[in-house]
């Protein structure tokens, strides 16, 4: 209550104290004059018009007013003292420190805190900046008050040997959806899902979303074992609810989870009181010390400041594909560990939706303004109501038609392409209730509780001053660091490489999964080496470069799918890899070993080729991405003749740059089986090594960009003529090949030969047109080109390109013969293994590749993807 008050920075220093109006122990009031001071200053006097002005020094006397009410205890200044800068002037016992404020009123003295006046430098509002109450936003407290409250809390918890546990609702302890289908299933005992949805609880919200979703039913599924879990955990922890749902939603869910209000009491905080739509913060509830607070949440990214205290649980996804209905505001999650198809235990039933369902993605890519976000959220909910039942029924129809696994695969593919929200999947029983997370979580929390109090006792004993019986808040250890050490033991010793799990263009070490891997004490590596213990592969893309590299070390390195990692994360130990191993790799390795013995590390094309074909088992063990996607016939190297057409095609597209992905894949493919240890760079077609592909690619890319430049810039057109011409000449031959090639290329190119053939005299013009078109097409395949390069195009570039192209053609002539056998092999493979492979897996793969789930080491391929 006693406060030292300063003079303030607004005075015109230096000042001299001339008179003190008040004696110590006198009451003072706000804005009352307390002492008088004088200061000297210069005033300009004289005649302004004639310019006869001079400065005269003047002395002014002023009063200093009290900034607060109370009683003056003592002065820190005396009469006659000259003060040159801000300093303490008096000690005051304030009548009210305004520690608790409600809506701008001091809750103790009832004065208006929003008032601003000349006497005080800061507003009284700023004395109580902390909002720490669960269910109110208008009640704020000062730091001292917060400290007092929290101290009392900690003492009480220590007395009961408890800790605080902040619990998230959605996808952590419950899963909610508003799909009316659930209600229908609940009423229909004949439905295969009836047993699963029978104990799904539901409620309606008065202040729920407007529009279609108004008055909808919310269906709440509790995580299996929740009741027991909470009951046991509540003996060790005081539970708080912290959710991004609305207050009404949170309270309704709390009522379902905890009907007697014994577990959560009134300790429920929702997004309405959070004060932030995008992040949660422990400081909102525990502003002073988070030493005794643990969080369980399914999302780590919403706790930017409290990661050490967080136990991330795997999201509970009961209503498949729905995701979190309250995450509309949150930024989209990236790089999630979505369980693989196999993990859903139901044969071919695949989960297609990444945790935030696709229908939400558009709303959450940026941090949208609040109203927009609300709107989007409503839309999302509406969509769920409108679309779900139909889709669900359709799915069911499919299921009835055919129980076979293929049946479920087909509609799923359809769904993926149209990006409509996936319906809850149906098989014999769609909604599986086989989640075991809470059991593990209970163990972790128990262990954490135990080690916290061990550490606490130890700290207390080591401090001799404290008596053993008293509760000592000084010796409270930080639970964040205890949790960190506990977690770090979980996977220590593992050296893990991720492949196909973190989206390209994302730093693996900063990605959610990367951070988690590190937090569990495992070492995250970026590339496969001999001492790596685990390679974690996305089960959707199990054939990446890293996998091929890892095959060499196979018995030592465990190649597992992402479910292994997820299991480790939830069990906090190195889980038995057996069920998670990627199958079929042993064969590949055996083959590889045989090959190494057979052919002593020769690097010729034909050898590589043999290895290739030899290594492809009849099943789907290998992918050779030779199946040509729609490809642009471009003038380069077209003059080499028709026999090598297929081969040409490969080279062409390569130089055109539209197929880097495939091409590289092929190279990698071959490399992986090369007996030597060489890591990259070596092409199976050795002769081409001398040719600088990089520069050719670049130049061609530049050249391709020029197509639009022709339209934009008139002056350039003349310059370009030469280049166009040169290419046009070559282009004459291209159509001839194209005709033979048309089966493999897309039909949109049929137009090309037709136009060429009809009008030889106007051929050049036609060529130009063709070329422009093909440029466009190519561009559309290429994605946005390097626009900075566009304007730099000059005719010498074009000439250079043509020259390069010719040399390339020459090279091709040589290599083509070597590569010819290879190609035949490839073609054969193409027929049997690849077709199946592509259909089964790579189709969806290709689609996804653009957005996500692309191997980190293929980052260079950026926007290019197979549109096969």
Partner 1 sequence: MFFLHNLERRVTLHPSYFGRNMHELVTTKLVKDVEGTCAGDYYIIAIMDAFDVSEGRILPGNGLAEFTVKYRAVVWRPFKGEVVDAIVFSINPHGFFCQAGPLSIFVSSHLMPEEIHFDPNATPPQFTNNADMVIEPGTHVRVKIGGLRTELGEMYAIGSINGDFLGCLQA
Binding residues vs partner 1 (CB under 8 A): 100, 102-112, 114, 133-136, 138-139, 141, 145, 149, 152-153, 156, 260-262, 265-266
Shortest distance, CB of residue 114 to partner 1, whole angstroms? 7
241 has which bridge partners?
A: 167, 268
Nearer to partner 1, 26 or 266 (CB): 266
Packing angle, helices 693-712 and 714-741, rounded to 10: 120
Smallest distance, partner 1 to C-beta of residue 162, A: 11
Please, what is the minimum distance in Å from the beta carbon of residue 170 to partner 1? Answer: 24
110 or 369: CB nearest partner 1: 110
Rounded least distance, CB 247 to partner 1, Å: 11
| Contact present, 355 and 436 (Cβ < 8 Å) | no
Q: Please state the closest distance from residue 145 (CB atom) to partner 1, in A.
A: 7
Looking at the Cβ atoms of 106 and 197, the one nearer to partner 1 is 106
Q: Please tell me the distance from the alpha carbon of residue 463 to that of residue 459, in angstroms, as a whole number.
A: 6
Which residue of the set 170, 324, 645, 720 is catalytic?
Answer: 170
Q: How far apart are the C-alpha atoms of 188 and 194, rounded to whole Å?
A: 7
The question of whether 168 is a catalytic residue gets the answer: yes
Strands 201-204 and 495-499, bridge-based pairing: unpaired
838 secondary structure, DSSP code: I
Buried b / exposed e over 304-342, threshold 16 CB at 10 Å, is eebbbbbbbbbbbbbbbbbbbbbbbbbbbbebbbbbbbb
- Minimum distance between the CB of residue 97 and partner 1, rounded to whole angstroms? 10
Helix-strand-coil split of the chain, %, nearest 5:
45, 15, 40
The residues facing 239 across adjacent strands are 165
What ranges in 500-604 are assigned the alpha helix state H? 512-519, 545-551, 562-571, 585-598
Least Å distance, CB 475 to partner 1, is 22
Task: Determine phi and psi for 42, rounding to 5 degrees.
Answer: -105, 135
**Is residue 83 within 8 Å of 14, Cβ to Cβ?**
yes
Q: Judged by CB, which is closer to partner 1: 128, or 216?
A: 128
Q: Which is nearer to partner 1, 136 or 215 (CB)?
A: 136
Q: Which residues contact 246 (CB under 8 A, 6 or more apart)?
A: 205, 207, 270, 271, 272, 326
| Residue 70 CB, nearest approach to partner 1 (Å) | 16
Q: Helices in 742-794 by DSSP H: which ranges? A: 751-758, 763-782, 787-790
Q: Which of 664, 575, 611, 39 is nearest to 314 (CA)?
A: 575
DSSP 328-351: TTSPPP-S--PPPGGGGSSTT---
Q: Which is nearer to partner 1, 254 or 829 (CB)?
A: 254
Cα angle 466, 471, 472 (rounded to 5 degrees) comes to: 55
796 Cβ partners below 8 Å, 6+ apart? none
Q: How far is the CB of 494 from partner 1 (least distance, A)?
A: 43
By DSSP bridging, strand 293-297 and strand 310-312 are parallel
Which residue number, 60 or 114, has a Cβ lying nearer to partner 1? 114
Q: Which is nearer to partner 1, 110 or 555 (CB)?
A: 110
Nearer to partner 1, 11 or 125 (CB): 125
Q: Which is nearer to partner 1, 270 or 544 (CB)?
A: 270
Strand 558-561 and strand 105-106: the pairing is unpaired
SS (H, E, C) 11-49: CCCCEEEEEECCCCCCEECCCCEEEEEEEEEEEEEEECC
Cβ closest to partner 1, residue 107 vs residue 554: 107
Q: How far is the CB of 715 from partner 1 (least distance, A)?
A: 55
Active site residue 170: yes
Q: Give me the residue label for tokens 């350039």.
A: 716
Non-local (6+) Cβ contacts of 744 within 8 A are 628, 631, 646, 649
User: Which one is catalytic: 47, 124, 135, 168?
Assistant: 168
Structure token pair of residue 292:
């005794």
CA distance 191 to 804: 68
Shortest approach of partner 1 to residue 233 CB, angstroms? 16
| CB-based contact 218:205 (threshold 8 Å) | yes
Angle at 312 between CA 311 and CA 317, to 5 degrees: 140
Alpha-carbon dihedral 600, 605, 608, 611, rounded to 10 degrees: -90
Residue 715, classified by CB atoms within 10 Å of its CB into exposed (0-12), middle (13-18) or buried (19+), is exposed
**What residues are labeled active site?**
168, 170
């Amino acid at each position: 209550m006693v406060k030292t008050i300063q003079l303030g920075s607004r005075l015109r220093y230096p000042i001299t104290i001339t008179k003190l109006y008040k004696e110590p122990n006198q009451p003072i009031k706000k804005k009352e004059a307390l002492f008088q001071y004088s200061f000297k200053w210069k005033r300009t006097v004289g005649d302004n018009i004639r310019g006869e002005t001079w400065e005269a020094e003047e002395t002014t006397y002023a009063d200093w007013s009290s900034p607060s009410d109370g009683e003056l205890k003592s002065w820190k200044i005396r009469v006659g003292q000259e003060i040159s800068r801000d300093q303490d002037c008096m000690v005051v016992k304030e009548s009210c420190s305004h520690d608790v404020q409600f809506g701008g009123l001091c809750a103790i003295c009832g004065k208006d805190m929003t008032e601003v006046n000349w006497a005080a430098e800061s507003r009284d509002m700023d004395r109580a900046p902390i909002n720490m109450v669960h269910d109110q936003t208008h009640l704020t407290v000062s730091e001292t008050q917060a400290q007092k409250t929290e101290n009392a809390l900690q003492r009480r918890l220590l007395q009961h040997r408890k800790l605080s546990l902040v619990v998230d609702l959605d996808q952590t302890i419950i899963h909610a959806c508003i799909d009316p289908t659930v209600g229908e299933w609940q009423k229909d005992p004949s439905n295969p899902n009836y047993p699963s949805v029978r104990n799904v609880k539901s409620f309606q919200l008065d202040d729920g979303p407007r529009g279609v979703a108004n008055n909808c039913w919310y269906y709440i599924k509790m995580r299996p074992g929740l009741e027991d879990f909470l009951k046991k955990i509540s003996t060790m922890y005081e539970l708080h609810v912290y959710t991004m749902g609305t207050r009404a939603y949170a309270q309704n869910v709390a009522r379902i989870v905890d009907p007697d209000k014994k577990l959560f009491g009134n300790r429920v905080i929702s997004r309405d009181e959070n004060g932030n739509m995008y992040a949660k913060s422990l400081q909102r509830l525990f502003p002073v010390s988070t030493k005794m607070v643990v969080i369980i949440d399914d999302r780590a990214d919403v706790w930017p400041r409290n990661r050490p205290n967080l136990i991330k649980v795997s999201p509970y996804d009961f209503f498949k594909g729905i995701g979190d209905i309250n995450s509309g505001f949150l930024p989209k999650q990236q790089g999630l560990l979505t369980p693989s198809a196999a993990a859903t235990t139901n044969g071919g039933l695949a989960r297609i939706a990444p945790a935030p369902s696709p229908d939400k993605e558009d709303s959450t890519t940026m941090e949208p303004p609040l109203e927009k976000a609300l709107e989007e959220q409503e839309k999302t909910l509406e969509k769920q109501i409108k679309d779900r039942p139909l889709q669900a029924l359709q799915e069911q129809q499919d299921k009835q038609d055919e129980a076979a696994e293929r049946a479920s695969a087909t509609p799923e593919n359809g769904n993926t392409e149209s990006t409509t929200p996936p319906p809850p999947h149906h098989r014999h029983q769609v909604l599986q209730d086989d989640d075991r997370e809470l059991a593990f979580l209970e163990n972790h929390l128990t262990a954490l509780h135990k080690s916290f109090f061990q550490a606490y006792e130890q700290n207390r004993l080591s401090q001799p001053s404290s008596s053993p019986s008293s509760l000592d808040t000084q010796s409270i250890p930080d639970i964040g660091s205890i949790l960190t050490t506990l977690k770090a033991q979980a996977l220590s010793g593992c050296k893990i490489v991720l492949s196909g799990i973190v989206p390209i263009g994302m730093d693996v070490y900063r990605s959610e999964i990367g951070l988690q891997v590190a937090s569990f004490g495992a070492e995250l590596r970026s590339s496969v080496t001999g001492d790596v213990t685990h390679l974690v592969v996305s089960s959707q893309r199990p054939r990446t470069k890293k996998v091929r590299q890892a095959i060499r070390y196979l018995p030592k390195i465990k190649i597992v799918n992402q479910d292994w990692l997820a299991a480790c994360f939830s069990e906090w130990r190195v889980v038995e890899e057996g069920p998670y191993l990627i199958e079929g790799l042993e064969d590949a390795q055996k083959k590889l070993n045989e090959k190494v013995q057979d052919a002593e590390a020769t690097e010729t094309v034909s050898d590589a080729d043999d290895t290739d074909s030899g290594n492809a088992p009849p099943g789907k063990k290998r992918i050779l991405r030779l199946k040509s996607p729609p490809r642009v016939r471009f003038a380069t190297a077209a003059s080499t003749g028709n026999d090598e057409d297929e081969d040409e095609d490969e080279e062409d597209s390569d130089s055109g740059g539209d197929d880097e992905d495939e091409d590289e894949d092929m190279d990698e493919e071959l490399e992986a089986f090369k007996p030597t240890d060489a890591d990259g760079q070596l092409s199976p077609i050795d002769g081409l090594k001398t040719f600088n592909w990089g520069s050719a690619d670049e130049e061609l890319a530049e050249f391709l960009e020029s197509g639009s430049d022709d339209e934009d810039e008139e002056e350039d057109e003349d310059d370009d003529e030469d280049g166009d011409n040169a290419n046009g000449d070559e282009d004459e031959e291209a159509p001839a090949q194209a005709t033979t090639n048309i089966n493999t290329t897309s039909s949109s190119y049929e137009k090309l030969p037709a136009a060429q053939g009809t009008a030889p005299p106007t051929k050049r013009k036609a060529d130009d047109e063709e070329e422009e078109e093909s440029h466009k097409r190519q561009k559309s395949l290429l994605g946005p080109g390097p626009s900075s390069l566009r304007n730099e195009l000059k005719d010498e570039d074009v000439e250079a390109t043509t020259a390069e192209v010719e040399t390339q053609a020459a090279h091709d002539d040589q290599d083509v013969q070597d590569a010819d056998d290879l190609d035949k092999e490839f073609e054969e493979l193409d027929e049997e293994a690849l077709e199946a492979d592509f259909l089964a897996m790579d189709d969806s793969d290709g689609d996804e590749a653009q957005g996500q789930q692309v191997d980190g080491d293929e980052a260079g391929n950026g926007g290019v993807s197979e549109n096969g």
